[in-house]
Chain A
Amino acid sequence: MTTTETSPNPTVTAPARKGNPWLPTLHGTFLVTRIELLRRRPSTKGWIFYGILLAAILGLGILVSVLSTAEKTSTPLELVLVLVLGAGMLIGPSLSATSINGDSGEGVLAPLQMTHLTAGDLAVGKLLSSWFVAFAVLVTTTPFLVYAYARSGWHLGELLLVLVVILFLVLTATAVGLAWSAIAARAVASVSLAHLTTGVLVIGTLVLFAFTAPLVSDTMTETDRYVAWDELSDEQSTALEDAYNTGDFSAVDPDALVCDEETYEYGIAHTERTAWMVLINPLVVIEEVSPLVNPLTFEEDGRAAPGIFANVHQMVSSARIGPTEADAQMMEYDECADIATMASGDDESADGGNAYQDTWEQQQEEQAMYPRTPWLGLGLQVLLLVGAMAIVTHRLRVPYRTLRTGTRVA
């Protein structure tokens, strides 16, 4: 080392290059990641800020664990996971979305493009360095995460799976930010577009799902039957009133009652046709890889009561299943038939309620335990990741054929 340092003109050995390679290499990717992380190295102020943040999270974790009851609950864990996803999806793209047009504006991109680094090296290196910062957020929340996990009734494998998926979603969002940065000339534009993309996926899909419901709605006709009180004789009215008050229907002759029919129309949304819009939502993807919780047997299963994720899964499943015959049956009301059943004496009114209750519970359980499908959402994410990186790599390849309008090479 000392000998080379004192030599007036040290010789260097750089390997020769051929053609115009663009694929990422291990050496190049690591080097670019290192350069980018060194450039983003926090200042003293930054470290103090992170210290305070970590202390606050630790404090919050201790506070919540002291105040809380011993009962199992998955809500804190779900909150942390949503926070980590949210923070990652904000921070990752914010950093990556200024990474290419910003560097090009500062004049530090082209000198690197002149070196042995390939377009792929620059693309992947920049992606990873922005993503690492989002990863650091996850690490910061670890103390709270450990506590929240301990009470959640989740298994370790399930938590790790969700964390891996969260990191993957953040990676994709970061890649999309990087792509915008490669396309747009101004940092303002690329940052807004990156967040807009995230917004469309997180909020836009839900809004779209809600607004498309009328388009997939069918009109159903339903007939309800009521007792026509006006046309009853006085004895009949008195007997029926008594029966309702006492619950003893033996004095009523159901065949003699006059019944009115009323037919009306209502719409049902065939959400099974639009459920895919919800399934591509990143939050839904997270929920769809989280463990299923049976609302009837969660205690025996060693789970906490259904939390946010379980409830969302139930709603998503309900949307995926769409309207069922059971729904239609539950809608119909036939007073005369009910009276006939009760007059015959073999069915108590409480039982009728139970049957309804059973159907409802069965439906709840069916929805809660409906198989999870993160695949559509994950598939879209893979597509976004690959597409974004293809755009970035293509845009970074030199010699440039075309330039972004309003930019210079250096």
Chain B
Amino acid sequence: MTILEEAPPITAAIQATGVARAFGSVQAVQDATLTVERGKVTALIGPNGCGKTTLMLMLAGLLRPDAGEIRVAGADPRTDSAAVRAAIGWMPDQLGSWDNLSCLQTLTLVGQSYRIPAAQARAKGLSLLRKVHLEEFADRPTRVLSRGQKQRLSLARALVHDPAVLLLDEPANGLDPRSRVELRQYVREIAAEGRAVLVSSHVLAELDEMVDDAVFMSKGRTLGDDAARMVAHARTRYRVWSLDVDALRRALTDASVPFEEAEGGAMVSIADEAHAQQALAWLVGAGVPVHRFGPAGSALEQTYMAMEEDRR
């Protein structure tokens, strides 16, 4: 994680404590607490309808929380909502674009809406279009864009004013595999520039490789340290596949290594990559025919599933 070492001193870009919001009788967010730090990518994970978007809207300064404290870039959305919105680049989950306007026109006009001089806004728009690989659509109306292309235009739109904080609501939706990889790299780059990024998604495997922190949400509540512990635990789980399953289990049992049985092998807990290397060397040395060895899938996904099971 060299990116983190290069990043500027870490201070919280978003700090939310005990945030709640109801729509009529529906309590969309009950108690949300989270911190998003500069130079880091934080994931917001939860099932559909758990209040992720509502929470993001409150952080973006579009929706007033009923209770709780929010600070974005040091400003309180209640009293300094304009400063909060200026500090944030928001990519909504709903894709909307001005059908009749070209991509470049869209970005230039949005830039001008931030009071960026027209020439600057245009130049920034062009460079962003290049960044999200839409430069050949610069002068074409946005109505010709496909869903994934609109998604990328929406990301570019969120960045026209060089925001300190980026809120991405389901950014990977509708993207093809290549665009997903590019999005992941791009988001990491944005974080490396010292910006804070909060991503909500349910494509968890995607997030695994992108995020530094994760905040889990369920039924309007953020799950604090428990979920963090579960993620940490999930990250230590390794899966070993052996041609001779019995030999593997015998070796583990003999060395009194705790393990769970899994199809074609076993699950073990290994603290870090150095230990994993030693464990593999030991198994091979002990004559166990290991043919696959690696982390047991997405840590976030495991946590998510475990969390969901707990709540059932």
- What's the count of A-B pairs with C-beta under 8 Å? 143
Of A7, A39, A115, the residue contacting B114 (CB under 8 A) is: A115
Q: Indicate if A9 sits at the interface (CB-CB under 8 A).
A: yes
A8 lies within 8 A of B127 (CB): yes
Smallest beta-carbon distance A6→chain B, Å: 9
Of A14, A114, A405, the residue contacting B62 (CB under 8 A) is: A114
Smallest beta-carbon distance A405→chain B, Å: 8
Of A39, A110, A409, the residue contacting B98 (CB under 8 A) is: A39
Question: Beyond A39-B99, A39-B101, is A114–B79 a contact (Cβ under 8 Å)?
Answer: no
Q: Indicate if A265 sits at the interface (CB-CB under 8 A).
A: no
A interface, how many residues as a size bin? 35 or more
Question: Beyond A108-B97, A108-B98, is A114–B119 a contact (Cβ under 8 Å)?
Answer: no
A410 to B23, CA, bound (A): 15
Q: Indicate if B45 sits at the interface (CB-CB under 8 A).
A: no
B-binding segment of A148-156, A185-193, A396-404:
A396-404
B82 lies within 8 A of A7 (CB): no
A55 to B41, CA, bound (A): 61
Chain A residue at minimal CB-CB distance from B61:
A399
Q: Indicate if A111 sits at the interface (CB-CB under 8 A).
A: yes
Q: Indicate if B57 sits at the interface (CB-CB under 8 A).
A: yes
B114 lies within 8 A of A41 (CB): no
Which residues does chain B contribute within 8 Å of A398, judged by CB atoms? 61-63, 81, 85
Q: Give the residues from 42 to 89 in chain B that come closer than 8 angstroms, CB to CB, to chain A.
A: 53, 57-58, 60-64, 77-83, 85-86, 88
A14 lies within 8 A of B161 (CB): yes
B96 lies within 8 A of A20 (CB): no
Q: Give the residues from 26 to 59 in chain A that come closer than 8 angstroms, CB to CB, to chain B.
A: 27-28, 31, 34-35, 38-41
Which residues does chain A contribute within 8 Å of B100, judged by CB atoms? 38-41
A398 to B160, CA, bound (A): 20
Which residues does chain A contribute within 8 Å of B127, judged by CB atoms? 5, 7-10
Which residues does chain A contribute within 8 Å of B23, judged by CB atoms? 403
Question: Beyond A11-B162, A111-B92, A114-B90, is A18–B82 a contact (Cβ under 8 Å)?
Answer: yes
Smallest beta-carbon distance B212→chain A, Å: 23
Q: Indicate if A66 sits at the interface (CB-CB under 8 A).
A: no
Q: Give the residues from 83 to 112 in chain A that come closer than 8 angstroms, CB to CB, to chain B.
A: 106-108, 110-112
Which residues does chain B contribute within 8 Å of A38, judged by CB atoms? 98, 100-101, 105, 109
Smallest beta-carbon distance A73→chain B, Å: 44
B interface, how many residues as a size bin? 35 or more
A115 lies within 8 A of B85 (CB): yes
Of B94, B113, B157, the residue contacting A410 (CB under 8 A) is: B94
A35 lies within 8 A of B98 (CB): yes
A16 to B93, CA, bound (A): 27
A107 lies within 8 A of B62 (CB): no
A388 to B43, CA, bound (A): 42
B82 lies within 8 A of A20 (CB): yes
Which residues does chain B contribute within 8 Å of A115, judged by CB atoms? 85, 110, 113-114, 161
Smallest beta-carbon distance A35→chain B, Å: 5
B95, B99, B112, B121: which has the most chain A beta carbons within 10 Å? B112
A114 to B81, CA, bound (A): 10
Which residues does chain B contribute within 8 Å of A111, judged by CB atoms? 90, 92, 96, 110, 157
A27 lies within 8 A of B120 (CB): no
Chain A residue at minimal CB-CB distance from B77:
A399
Question: Beyond A12-B111, A108-B97, is A400–B63 a contact (Cβ under 8 Å)?
Answer: yes
A14 lies within 8 A of B116 (CB): yes
Q: Indicate if A273 sits at the interface (CB-CB under 8 A).
A: no
Q: Indicate if A157 sits at the interface (CB-CB under 8 A).
A: no
A1 to B120, CA, bound (A): 9
Q: Indicate if A4 sits at the interface (CB-CB under 8 A).
A: yes
Q: Indicate if B123 sits at the interface (CB-CB under 8 A).
A: yes
Of B63, B81, B94, B110, the residue contacting A20 (CB under 8 A) is: B81
A10, A108, A405: which has the most chain B beta carbons within 10 Å? A10
A71 to B61, CA, bound (A): 67
A12 lies within 8 A of B80 (CB): no
A21 to B86, CA, bound (A): 13
Question: Beyond A38-B105, A41-B100, is A409–B124 a contact (Cβ under 8 Å)?
Answer: no
Smallest beta-carbon distance A322→chain B, Å: 52
Question: Beyond A4-B120, A409-B57, is A27–B115 a contact (Cβ under 8 Å)?
Answer: yes
Chain B residue at minimal CB-CB distance from A21:
B82
Which residues does chain B contribute within 8 Å of A409, judged by CB atoms? 57, 62-63
Q: Indicate if A117 sits at the interface (CB-CB under 8 A).
A: yes
A31 lies within 8 A of B101 (CB): no
Which residues does chain A contribute within 8 Å of B97, judged by CB atoms? 108
Which residues does chain B contribute within 8 Å of A8, judged by CB atoms? 127
Smallest beta-carbon distance B151→chain A, Å: 12
Q: Indicate if B126 sits at the interface (CB-CB under 8 A).
A: yes
Q: Indicate if A237 sits at the interface (CB-CB under 8 A).
A: no
B96 lies within 8 A of A399 (CB): no
Q: Indicate if A19 sits at the interface (CB-CB under 8 A).
A: yes
A18, A20, A114: which has the most chain B beta carbons within 10 Å? A114
A4 lies within 8 A of B123 (CB): yes
Question: Beyond A12-B111, A115-B113, is A20–B157 a contact (Cβ under 8 Å)?
Answer: no
A41, A112, A398: which has the most chain B beta carbons within 10 Å? A398
A17 to B72, CA, bound (A): 14
Smallest beta-carbon distance B102→chain A, Å: 10
Chain A residue at minimal CB-CB distance from B121:
A12
A11 to B162, CA, bound (A): 8
Q: Mark A379-410, 1 if CB is under 8 A from B, else 0.
A: 00000000000000000001111010100111
Give the top 7 A-B pairs by smallest Cβ distance, nearest first: A107-B96, A115-B113, A107-B94, A4-B123, A17-B82, A399-B64, A108-B96
Identify the B interface with A (CB < 8 A): 23-24, 53, 57-58, 60-64, 77-83, 85-86, 88, 90, 92-101, 105, 109-117, 119-124, 126-127, 157, 160-162
Identify the A interface with B (CB < 8 A): 1, 4-5, 7-21, 27-28, 31, 34-35, 38-41, 106-108, 110-117, 398-401, 403, 405, 408-410
Apart from the given pairs A20-B82, A40-B100, A399-B77, 14 other A-B contacts in the complex at a CB distance below 8 Å: A4-B120, A7-B127, A12-B114, A13-B116, A20-B79, A28-B113, A35-B109, A38-B105, A108-B96, A110-B62, A110-B90, A111-B92, A114-B62, A115-B110
Chosen A-B contacts, 14 in total, with CB atoms closer than 8 Å, are A1-B119, A4-B123, A12-B121, A12-B161, A12-B162, A14-B162, A38-B101, A107-B94, A110-B92, A111-B90, A115-B161, A398-B61, A410-B57, A410-B92
